[in-house]
Amino acid sequence: MEFGPAKGTLMLKLRYDTPLEWVKVVGADLHTFLRDHAHNERKVAAAAMTLVAHQPNRPKLVHALVDLAREELSHFREVLQRLEKADDWIGHDEPDPYMTALHKLIRRKDSEHYLLDRLLVFGLVEARGCERFYLLGKHLEDPKWRDFYATLAKAEARHHGLFIRLARLYFAEEDIRLRVDELLEAEAEIARSLPLRAALH
């Protein structure tokens, strides 16, 4: 599956395809998945605002990430409402081994490498979310949930493109390409190595 902000420009093509068996795992325990999904929306919004706090002198980045955080929080609220209608609630957040592994890839020795990696890892996470929401929107049995996740897949695709565009504002295309190639390979190995469970990652 390919993602990208514009024709003829850098594309993020995930190098591991989530198996359809994952949809069956989610469908068999949808409430657990919804709780995990809600926490992921909340955490993306919080991470976006943390990056805003770290990069206050980059106006385009600040505006874009504030808008992203607002949209992610609206998704968080929507999932909460759906859980509540089903007499359920989010409960405590569970550890996410996928995100833990991805965060270890972020270079922290200097601020420029750190910013580039944060943006690209954000993009990868959104791309993976898009791929998995797309699968749910196509293959879940309940049409209500298929429609919900098909809509969210489109939002995740927009978000992925946002992070690539932001990276281009501050870094050379070749630097982005080289690092994307490394991160795509690493992300594929992480996703492939993890067991299938009723969670987004």
- CA distances in angstroms from 2 to 15, 68, 81, listed in the order given: 10, 21, 32
In the three-class reduction of DSSP (H, G, I as helix; E, B as strand; rest coil), residue 64 is classed as helix
Contacts of 62 (CB under 8 A, 6+ apart): 52, 55, 56
Q: What is the mean pLDDT of each run of 10 residues along the chain (201 residues)?
A: 40 90 98 97 97 97 98 96 94 95 95 96 95 97 96 88 94 96 98 98 95
Q: DSSP state, 195?
A: P
Question: Are 180 and 10 spatial neighbours (Cβ–Cβ below 8 Å)?
Answer: yes
**Alpha-carbon distance 24 to 134, whole Å?**
14
Burial letters 98-107, b for 16+ CB under 10 A, else e: bbebbeebee
* pLDDT, position 6: 39
Name the pTM for this structure: 0.92
**Alpha-carbon distance 31 to 145, whole Å?**
12
Helices (H), the chain: 21-28, 30-54, 59-85, 97-103, 111-139, 143-170, 173-193
* pLDDT, position 3: 37
Please provide the DSSP assignment of 168-194 as one string: HHHS-HHHHHHHHHHHHHHHHHHHHHS
* pLDDT, position 10: 47
